[in-house]
Structure 1
């Protein structure tokens, strides 16, 4: 194609218009090069959404555990079991022995 034929091409006339060129450069800048570029910001937002969804799952599991614990504590046997395990309570005339294994003890880091 010769230069004169290229200049007469309708696409050449459209793309060499200064407003079209500036608009194309602007769109490229906004989509790819800017600090708040469309692609970059969407990737970050997708990561944040994934983190929030993981948090929702974590807290839903925690709520379910708490609801199960509340159901277990509704009767007196559940309350007694909880008090014995957590607060080492005992009945009258009863002895409680606490057995701790060496691997379950907390170790001081200063030793």
Structure 2
């Protein structure tokens, strides 16, 4: 294939057009090198999704805490919670904590 035949090829003629070259350079610049490139947008979108998941987690935790606070308004449930979570006791009683995980068979 000679040089003239190579230049007459449709694909070569298309890509050697100055407008196509400028368009390709512009697209490459916008996709990879610009401050507002596609890669930066993708990273920011991933960060947004992660933060939205974090927000949903904290909202659900806040709802659980609100239910717990509402439940602890009752003196009996407050005493039960204090005994189970903080091992609190009354003055006239003794509490023995048995840890079953430490017993080996």
Shorter-chain TM-score bucket reads: 0.5 to 0.7
Match of 2:8 in 1: none
CA distance in 1 between counterparts of 2:41 and 2:93 reads 64
Measured after TM superposition, the shift of residue 21 of structure 1 is: 7.0
Q: What are the Cα deviations for residues 82-102 of structure 1, in whole angstroms up to 9, with x where unaligned?
A: 221223222343332211122
CA distance in 1 between counterparts of 2:65 and 2:36 reads 43
CA distance in 1 between counterparts of 2:41 and 2:74 reads 51
Matched, 1:58 2:57: yes
Measured after TM superposition, the shift of residue 76 of structure 1 is: 0.3
Measured after TM superposition, the shift of residue 60 of structure 1 is: 0.9
Q: TM-score, length-normalised on structure 1?
A: 0.62
Q: Which runs of 5+ in 1 are unaligned?
A: 1-11, 104-111
Structure 1 stretch 26-35 or stretch 36-45: which is displaced more? Answer: 26-35
What CA RMSD, in Å, does the superposition of the two structures yield over aligned residues? 2.8
